[in-house]
Structure 1
């Protein structure tokens, strides 16, 4: 995959990349319009997803939902190899059946605050086989390759859902760290985006000093509480707009007291106004800001 292809728009329902590089890149907390699955192969990487920090081992699998803030911290002295899948939620939804929901693995990982699959070797063999065949479809002009690629991708999603469901409530805690106070705070923020979420109100609710709350949040997530809340409100506003809500109503529902503040924050994050975004909904693409923050 060449650099231009990596940094271009996500023009299809799903995409798969196999990347092996040695770069020291510092990412900010961000999110994507699409779901992401990372198959970690080698390197030195710690992945932050919402309030959780995952120290990765070879063939750990990470699921990152499209509304979840995340960032990788990469050791630039080691070769970082991984296979990354991007998929738009609507594509999976279109391929759901009465009995099978292909979005279930993402829903489970979000509900249980558990984004990692660490599998025994015997369960990895089928995943590796499907990934190899899927990557083999890239660039092929053979008859029916596009159909085979879609079928392989859907089969891979079926396998991942089966594995997530099989694990049930079982959680492997090794290599995962989090602060219970910050976890509770993030859950509260996510559930109360329309409310008054000032530092004073939050510190009072959680019986923690302003300084400790701000310092600990930044230490755990790498971003400020204020920035996190703004991004979460913008993510929710875009969801509501995609569902048909007006721009002004979405702004109000997500806790922006002033419409001009909402427009300014939206444009800063996505390089377009909310109304321009609505016009582009049928042309899926990553914003200029998003392109700078893409973590393959």
Structure 2
């Protein structure tokens, strides 16, 4: 990365980043436990979100809710500039307990209605990224400005219909339905009358990840949600399809950089 301006305060992270010659190896599929606003400024790329492929044009805005897998696919190594904002789903709960502002994130199928065009928010994102005031002023600014962005998203979302799912999206949705079951790639492929190799190829084209890497990451994010709600680490691992706790523990630490006990009240250490 050739340039990065990043601020992380109060659960809100905002980044302005530039790669003069982006390397595809440095951009892989990932899943957040927070909402994300991704604002594309320049480059030659596509954005993959849960089986949907979105062409990126100047001022494209992508939204992803917690647990929604996404990645950038570069078509050529042109200058790649973007803003990204991550924040909790609960950000506006103090004045919007019904989460009406968050409906563009929550009230839609997985991987659908992620793409918007709202060029006027670029100045807002720049203001947030480069604000130098005290923490209280920063929190107040971030909350009010992001609430305005959510309002604009909501108005566009009502005119953004859901299309019929493609075969790629059907693969992804089925995997999510079966996520915590005892599954294998062969069993998943059989459901679509595909070979394991055909299923793997189609799935990786759709998500940017091999099936089992995707499944593991999704299970870990779901387990983290359970831990945050007060579930024990052992129970969270079992519910999310991890039959071996030591496997879950190692994968969790590697993925999140912290122990499950950071949230669980009675986790096994």
Give the structure-2-normalised TM-score: 0.82
User: Structure 1: which 4+ aligned runs deviate by more than 6 Å?
Assistant: 2-5
SS at match of 2:59: coil
Higher strand share: 2
Distance 1:169 1:68 in 2: 22
Most deviating of 252-261 and 98-107: 98-107
Distance 1:18 1:10 in 2: 12
Q: CA offsets, 1:180-238, max 9 Å, x none?
A: 22311221222332212212221222222222112211232232111111111111111
Q: CA offsets, 1:12-69, max 9 Å, x none?
A: 3213333334132322211223322111122222211221121111111111223122
Residue 146 of structure 1: how far off its partner (Å): 4.6
User: Residue 170 of structure 1 aligns with which residue?
Assistant: 160
Higher helix share: 1
* Structure 2 contact 47–70 (Cα < 8 Å) conserved: yes
* Structure 1 contact 13–88 (Cα < 8 Å) conserved: yes
Relative to 1, partners in 2 of residues 1:44 and 1:261: Cα closer, same or farther, differing over 3 Å?
A: same
- The number of equivalent residue pairs is 261
Match of 1:231 among 217, 220, 225: 217
* Structure 1 contact 43–80 (Cα < 8 Å) conserved: yes
User: Residue 15 of structure 1 aligns with which residue?
Assistant: 13
Distance 2:225 2:77 in 1: 39
1:251 and 2:237 matched: yes
Residue 132 of structure 1: how far off its partner (Å): 4.5
User: Residue 130 of structure 1 aligns with which residue?
Assistant: 124
Distance 2:98 2:256 in 1: 37
Residue 130 of structure 1: how far off its partner (Å): 3.0
Match of 2:182 among 181, 185, 196: 196
User: Residue 150 of structure 1 aligns with which residue?
Assistant: 139
Distance 2:77 2:210 in 1: 28
SS at match of 1:32: coil
User: Residue 206 of structure 1 aligns with which residue?
Assistant: 192
User: Residue 286 of structure 1 aligns with which residue?
Assistant: none
Match of 2:166 among 177, 180, 186: 180
User: Residue 64 of structure 2 aligns with which residue?
Assistant: 64
Unaligned ranges ≥5, structure 2:
none
